[in-house]
Structure 1
Amino acid sequence: MNSNLGQSGSSGKWQMLVAMILSGTIGLFVMASGQPAMTVVLLRCLIGGLSLLALLYWQGGWQNLNVEQVTWLMLGAAALIINWLCLFSAYRLSSISIATVVYHVQPFFLLILLAMTQRDGQIWRKLPFLLLAFAGVLLSSGLDIRHDFLRSADGHVTQALAGAGLALLAALLYAFATLATRKLQGIAPAQIASVQLLLGAVVLAPMADLSGWNWHWQSWGSLLLLGLVHTGLMYKLMYDAFQKLPAASIATLSFIYPLVALLVDVLFFATVLSGWQLLGMAMILLAVLANQRDWHLVSTRPALNVETGGET
């Protein structure tokens, strides 16, 4: 039994790692598509959702859900969709840099929600490394909070604060969507993701403006990759990992996403990193490594092993 749990956790880590790497490269293909953000998200949902539905049909993996499972699925879908809308609004009201940094408090929200629902005090042992990773995000973003707030939204600080608040709400909703997915143990990740993505497409369709559609092959190619790989495959991997991994691992591995996004800027958009940004990247890597190797900053009393009746 322990061997199976260990193998499941190991595969979950790799799935989460790949999902976060894919997530960090989304911006590259969004830029290559040349389409507005809302159009990109709509087509991501539509292509990704349909591809997962086709995979599910081919595998014969569709499962009938009970009332409780349907409830969690719908709550997760609603949280995910509203999360997108809040985050897009935050980009407009403040700035992408401010919204992105604020949004990355979501691992802390996830940790709090899961600690409350699972009543697992051991989760908090990982908090110092999450704080280290978040500090790394702040440094690596190159964000000058005073300067960016004053120049964002035509200098209206109130709007910038409203944008930061929406990004904070988006982070909380994303954490809740993760929790909802964890409640759907035994349900194929492709089924969960396909339903949520297609519901997202239905909600977002009236908001997208397709009048300026670019039919160039680069747009189509980028959007197909975003839909099939960066949405369909990514969500399947991510939701599978959500069901396998403990809360602390999910939270810490989430910081791989901003790290990869910054590397994409360096490799493809000629971004030059400062010493502080390099330090921030190193802090993120250190935090991820510390979590995966289960390091502790302070010694703790040995915990009782429920399965063996001994100490761990």
Structure 2
Amino acid sequence: MSDERIGQLYMAFAMAISGTIGYFVLLSEQSPFNVVWFRCAIGSVGLAAYCGYRGYLGSFRLDRQQFIKLFFGALTLIANWCFLFTAYRMTSIGITTVVYNVQPFLLVIAGFMLPGERPSRSAIFWLVLSFTGLVVLAQPGAEHNGHSYLLGIACALAAATLYAATTLLTRSLSRSLRPELIAVSHMVIGTLVFIPLANFHALPASRPQIGAIVCLGTIHTTFMYILLYGAFKKAATSSIAVLSFIYPLVAVTVDFFAFGRVLTLTQLGGGVLIVTAAVAYAAGIHPLSAVRSFTGRRRARDGSGRS
């Protein structure tokens, strides 16, 4: 089996696992702060063990500037989780996940403010399409969307914004540090920072709650990160972009089977716009090329039908 194929399988599994995070967060019945603390604590042990086994820990060195980026990257990452887990409860797993997929376009917006990072016209097109989908999905003027729903949408957007900030802060670090070591550092920092915020008087007690927390730390953090980094090394960027579509698809499916929540046609339409724009942008697809490819296939099909 080729490296490309292995990378695709890693990415597909990672995205499928990621799509179930919301279910286990709700199953744990813990506050967002508690879930984040347990995820960081268990994940730090698991990832540190993996890095130790692979011999990565011996090369871990940081200067002052790298530590600052690492520290604030950890803060934005764990704060992103808090907002994301809060949004699950206020809207739904499916809607939160779909809104979260605008994250790549927040980096496009940041490009307007960063020197040497000017976005292309293609990126701007997909950005506009994505945020059109966001407005359609959120339906801010609809009477059936109460204060809690709109606040949940805002939390999902805040989570996406914070994750974009994490990406910017860690992008330069990846040139000098292995991504696994960055992940371990983020988990350790998150564990320490969230000790005062976690409520240790309301710990998971039932078997489902404990099982959910253990899964979030081991499967959804340690194992999923290992799969993601393996995918990034082996699979092409276009493959990773297309397979990222699995994440919201699984989340919406889990939402339906676990909680009976179904997106309305309007919400579904907005979600399709967001996810399509995110995948096309990440895959580097130019909108005009996509249109020409589609019309070319249609003409070929019509021509073969007439012959």
Q: Is TM more than 0.5 here?
A: yes
Q: Structure 1 unaligned runs (5+)?
A: 1-6, 300-312
Letter in 2 for 1:218: P
- Asked whether the 8 Å contact 1:108–1:130 carries over to 2, the reply is yes
State the number of aligned residues: 284
SS state of the match for residue 195, structure 1? helix
The yes-or-no answer on 1:65 pairing with 2:61 is: yes
- Asked whether the 8 Å contact 1:130–1:251 carries over to 2, the reply is no
1: distance between equivalents of 2:219 and 2:120?
32
SS state of the match for residue 212, structure 1? coil
Of residues 50, 53, 61, the one that matches 1:55 is 50
- Provide the residue aligned with 2:126 in structure 1: 129
CA spacing shift, 1:174–1:294, aligned 2, 3 Å: closer
Shift of 1:29: 1.2
- Provide the residue aligned with 2:295 in structure 1: none
1: distance between equivalents of 2:247 and 2:240?
12
- Provide the residue aligned with 1:110 in structure 2: 107
Of residues 158, 170, 179, the one that matches 1:181 is 170
For residues 232-251 of structure 1, what are the structure 2 equivalents within 5 Å?
232-238=222-228
Letter in 1 for 2:23: L
**TM-align CA RMSD:** 4.2
- Provide the residue aligned with 1:272 in structure 2: 262
Shift of 1:147: 4.6
2: distance between equivalents of 1:294 and 1:274?
30
Letter in 2 for 1:272: V
What's the TM-score once normalised by structure 1's chain length? 0.70
Of residues 290, 295, 298, the one that matches 2:285 is 295
* Amino-acid identity (%): 39
Q: Structure 2 unaligned runs (5+)?
A: 290-307
SS state of the match for residue 288, structure 2? coil
2: distance between equivalents of 1:232 and 1:249?
22
The yes-or-no answer on 1:79 pairing with 2:76 is: yes
- Asked whether the 8 Å contact 1:123–1:247 carries over to 2, the reply is no
- Provide the residue aligned with 1:41 in structure 2: 36
The yes-or-no answer on 1:22 pairing with 2:17 is: yes
Letter in 1 for 2:69: W
What's the TM-score once normalised by structure 2's chain length? 0.71
1: distance between equivalents of 2:10 and 2:274?
19
- Asked whether the 8 Å contact 2:242–2:283 carries over to 1, the reply is no
- Asked whether the 8 Å contact 1:123–1:248 carries over to 2, the reply is no
